[in-house]
Structure 1
Amino acid sequence: MKFKLIQHTLAALFFLGTAWHSYSQEVLTVEDAVKIALENNFEIQIATNNSKIDATNVSLANAGILPNVEGVLTNSNSILDTKQTQADGSIRELNNAKNMNLSYGLVVNWTVFDGFKMFAKHEQLKQIEQLGNTELQFTILNKVGDVMETYYQIVQQQEQLKVLDTTLVISQLRLNLAKNRYTIGKASKLEVLNAEVDWNTDNTNLLRQKELYANTKTTLNELLARDLTTEFFVSEEVIIDKSLQYADLKTMVSSQNPQLQMQVLNKRIAELSLKQVKGDRYPTIGLNSGYNFTRSESSLGFVSESTGNGLVYGVTARMNIFNGSLQNRNEKVAKINVENARIYVEQQKNQLESQLLAAYTTYLTNIQLTELEEKNEKIAEQNLDITLEKFKIGTITTVEFRTAQLNFVNAKFRNNSAQFQAKISEIALKELAGNLDLE
């Protein structure tokens, strides 16, 4: 078909026209974009660091299980005017009497039992670490989803540019024909003016599309955390996975969705907080020991100097007997927090099932639309090809030709949009299922 030849020629001219000033631009694949985002994206980097903090916090010492060892030094001095009255009534006086007390050594304190709170705390730290990893996974899925959606927007807009470039050339052809016919007296000035207005309209649409194309590329560069002026082309190929099944996706959502997993972990953390609160009902037992050296000097008194060193040790125990019923209050609040966490889990499940069902319905509709719009584009293309031949020989009006031209442009736009929407639906479903391809 002649119009098919025009299309292929204009597609080649489109890329040659854009490549003369950008021959060194990279062709960015969606896999490359995802890889760059995983390495550079700021939100992913922050989430990664937060996850490292959570992992670092998991330790026996942070849970209070290990003993605490301290080095202690105390040195006190005084200069006093001192007066002492002895038992026999004699008086001893000394001005500027110097006194010194020095002690130093090691002190060990170790809580050996606190109602199992320390063990619950250690387990809670592990759960918080898992929560941090899950939050990192959620951030990664979110950002990768954004990158993929933006990438395929650029693919769509790149195709739209080709369509608009094609229709602009057709409008130019129509304008030239109208001018030629006007010159030889077979067309009116009105036909030339109409053709010129339509050419200007198509040129405006092309400029707007170029603006949108450039701005969307800037958005993708921002997501990739690289120089915003980095130029690139995107691959035109869009492969849509049409094999997704609702039952399989629902199973994956239950086991892999990060949002649901975060709520489950929050529930476990709340349960461990309750366990720690209950631990306050038990006694706390601690061991203390140390090795001390002491020295004291006094300018006035029975003992002018004394020293001592050796081992000190002991046991401390304490137990809450009554604290104004605060224990009951704290336990009641902790139990309510556990119940709220359970409700949040059920709420998240319900929301995800609703989102999955709606997204899957949209996915199926978009798959059907891709097939329909692809057929419609072929019909519109055939119609334009026939109309173009008739217009050349003057058997149809310019209005009929313009209608066929716009029908073709709209059919191409709808087909491109259907392909894009189907791909976005696929990405949304895989993101919900926690099953996006990150490689």
Structure 2
Amino acid sequence: MKIIFKSILLLFFCFVKGNAQQVLSLEDAVKIALANNYEIKIAKNDLKIDQTNVSAGNAGMLPKATASITQNNNLQNLSQTRTDGTTTSLDNAKSNSLNYGVGLDWTIFDGFKMFAKKEQLQELQKLGESQLRMTVITKISDVQTAYYDLVQQQQQLAALDSTIVISNQRVNLAKNRFTIGKASKLEVLNAQVDINTDKVAVLRQQELYKNSKIALNQLLARDAQIDFKVVSDFTMDRKLEYAELKALAEKQNPQIEALIISKKVAELELKQVKSGRYPTLKVNTGYNFAENESSLGFTTQSSARGLNYGFSASLNLFDGFVQKRNEKISSIQIENSAIQIEQQNLALNSQLATSYQTYLTNLELIDLEEKNEAIAKQNLDITLDKFHIGTITTLEFRTAQLNYVNAKVRYSDAQFQAKLSEIALKELAGAIQF
């Protein structure tokens, strides 16, 4: 009864410990990253700035109204000689003037520059949206990569844990055989050395697993010490088609999209530069008040108030070929934007073709390594049975054991590499779900 009670208690504590670690799904990890990641937050704020800049006032379409006030005071020794020869003088004569009012200036035509500016601001907002999407896709790709790296680390840790169990059986069996005189002390020592080697590998893997958790927590912008588990298996998408991915990439790849918008911005910049060839027309109006006081003179006090209005027009006739030079530079910038689009399209197609071939190869490797693992497991079971009855050597048993562990590790790595290829393809196509 004591043994049963202790066993139940042990199972209970193991259950509690196992459930203390929350299983973090990939969907939850992506949601946390979208809400917390610092680079995504910065990109969102940059987009808000671009959205705020899109306004008629920022494009120069609205009038500007100003209020002003000016006061001047003088204290002087004055002397005046009139035309009739009389002279008047006054020491410390005071005089002051006060002017205040409101004015309005409005550029009503600037060669269509304001309209090009407004459209450019709208394109910059689209560029900000594209850059935010690019940041989000990149971060989700990083989260998925880190998440499935943890899945791989977790699988490899389980494989090493299983070899510890087998090595323990080997040590116990070697001790029993030594006790009854069917094995030498050397066999026991070899078994103990091998299990210690396995324990070292487990410790190294545990360290790597914990460090990978910290890296994922950093991507999620949360406390690095939060403990969690990930799912135990890979979910592979085996239905990716190259033609479909290429079509999606040409349509919605965020880098291509950003370059196309940048070219549009450069074209609108050229429109603004060309506006310098047209005249600029401005209208102005205002209402002003003026008051003046003087201690000496024909008029000791005066005041005025009233409306003023008018217009001004200007046309650049010659500026040392600055206008021509600026237009040429803007045209070259448009040409560079077009070249960058062609360059990025070529690079995208090359990356897509290479990644797709790697994806296909990795899918084949998954099937091959899965078969190898099954064969290695069957070989280990047979070897273990033979080892129990003493028909094979410890070296043969150890070889079968290591072959099985290596087969499990290779199978896990093959799945991880295939998943990386899948993530890379979807990132290039702009098809990562979020």
User: Which sections of structure 1, spanning at least 5 residues, go unmatched?
Assistant: 1-14
TM-score, scaled relative to structure 2 = 0.95
Change (3 A) 1:19 1:280: farther
Given candidates 83, 97, 106, the residue that maps to 2:102 is 106
Aligned-residue identity in percent: 56
| Alignment partner, residue 375 of structure 1 | 371
| Alignment partner, residue 121 of structure 2 | 125
Give per-residue Cα distances to partners, 1:65-85, cap 9 Å, x unaligned: 100011111111111111122
Q: What SS does the aligned partner of 2:222 have?
A: coil
- Superposed counterparts of 1:105-184, under 5 Å: 105-184=101-180
| Alignment partner, residue 426 of structure 1 | 422
Give the alignment's Cα RMSD to 1 decimal.
1.4
CA distance, structure 1, for counterparts of residue 165 and residue 13 of structure 2:
14
Give per-residue Cα distances to partners, 1:327-366, cap 9 Å, x unaligned: 1111111111111111111111111111111111111111
Given candidates 261, 265, 269, the residue that maps to 1:269 is 265
Q: What SS does the aligned partner of 2:238 have?
A: coil
Q: CA deviation at 1:19?
A: 5.5
Q: What SS does the aligned partner of 1:422 have?
A: helix
User: Which sections of structure 2, spanning at least 5 residues, go unmatched?
Assistant: 1-10
| Alignment partner, residue 298 of structure 1 | 294
**Amino acid in the other structure paired with 2:322:** L
| Alignment partner, residue 220 of structure 2 | 224
| Alignment partner, residue 332 of structure 1 | 328
| Alignment partner, residue 237 of structure 1 | 233
Q: What SS does the aligned partner of 1:61 have?
A: coil
Give per-residue Cα distances to partners, 1:150-190, cap 9 Å, x unaligned: 11111111111111000011011111111221222211222
Q: What SS does the aligned partner of 1:185 have?
A: coil
Give per-residue Cα distances to partners, 1:178-237, cap 9 Å, x unaligned: 122122221122222221111111000000000011010011111111111111111123
**Amino acid in the other structure paired with 1:376:** N
CA distance, structure 2, for counterparts of residue 326 and residue 277 of structure 1:
10
Q: What SS does the aligned partner of 1:60 have?
A: coil
Instruction: Say if 2:59 is the partner of 1:66.
Output: no
Given candidates 422, 430, 437, the residue that maps to 2:433 is 437
CA distance, structure 2, for counterparts of residue 22 and residue 397 of structure 1:
38
Instruction: Say if 2:243 is the partner of 1:247.
Output: yes
What is the aligned residue count?
424
CA distance, structure 2, for counterparts of residue 426 and residue 23 of structure 1:
31
Q: CA deviation at 1:97?
A: 1.3
CA distance, structure 1, for counterparts of residue 344 and residue 72 of structure 2:
62
TM-score, scaled relative to structure 1 = 0.94
Q: CA deviation at 1:22?
A: 5.6
Give per-residue Cα distances to partners, 1:108-153, cap 9 Å, x unaligned: 0000111111111111110111101110000000111111111111
CA distance, structure 1, for counterparts of residue 140 and residue 14 of structure 2:
28
Q: What SS does the aligned partner of 2:68 have?
A: strand
CA distance, structure 2, for counterparts of residue 352 and residue 26 of structure 1:
39
